[in-house]
Amino acid sequence: MKLLIAVIQRQDEAALTRALAARRIGVTRVSSQGGFLREGNVTLFIVIPDHRVDEVMSLIREHCHTRTRYVAPLPPVAESGEFYPSTPIEVQVGGATVFVLDAEVLGRA
Ligand code: 2BA
């Protein structure tokens, strides 16, 4: 068995979880936040047999899209009254960040 931990963007959650449910693939969702952008995202926990990993990865690729965000870098420490215009930097987010771990299901209580 494998545990997939997938960090996805909120906009992609509904389509992906619908596609997983249609294939009777169980999923647990947790609201999360990226450490860099500090924006809300969604982390999905999916436990599946080894032979279904490719199937789930295909669904993630199909439903999770890359998006461009612009972030204003933090200005250097300034004396009061000084103004540092900051040029936004472009950041690509997603489609998804996926970790695949070995899992053992010992039973359900
Ligand atoms: P965030 O940490 O908010 O990162 C959002 C996007 O910002 C990242 O997209 C990446 O393109 C960029 N980024 C992150 N750290 C950066 C840095 N130090 N300098 C410049 N750009 C940086 P993704 O790579 O697609 O990641 C999307 C979300 O997936 C992340 O949101 C985070 O919540 C999660 N994630 C990514 N890599 C991870 C990792 N190694 N471990 C745990 N979670 C991770």
Walk along the chain (109 residues) in steps of 10 and give the mean pLDDT of each run. Answer: 98 98 98 96 98 98 97 72 78 97 91
Task: Give the atom of ligand 1 at the shortest distance from the alpha carbon of 96.
Answer: 25
What pLDDT was estimated at residue 76?
65
What pLDDT was estimated at residue 72?
85
Which CATH number is associated with domain 2-67+95-102? 3.30.70.120
Structure tokens at 21: 């449910």
| pTM score | 0.91
Helix ranges restricted to H, the chain: 10-22, 53-63
What pLDDT was estimated at residue 78?
61
Q: b/e string for 20-41 if b means 16 or more Cβ within 10 A? A: beeeebebeeeeeeeeeeeeeb
**Ligand 1 pocket check: which of 97, 98, 100, 101 to mutate, most ligand atoms within 8 Å of Cβ?**
97
For helices 53-63 and 10-22, the axis angle rounded to 10 degrees is 140
What pLDDT was estimated at residue 86?
75
Nearest Cα residue to 10 out of 45, 36, 39, 47: 39
| C-alpha 70 to ligand 1 mean position (Å) | 14
| C-alpha 107 to ligand 1 mean position (Å) | 34
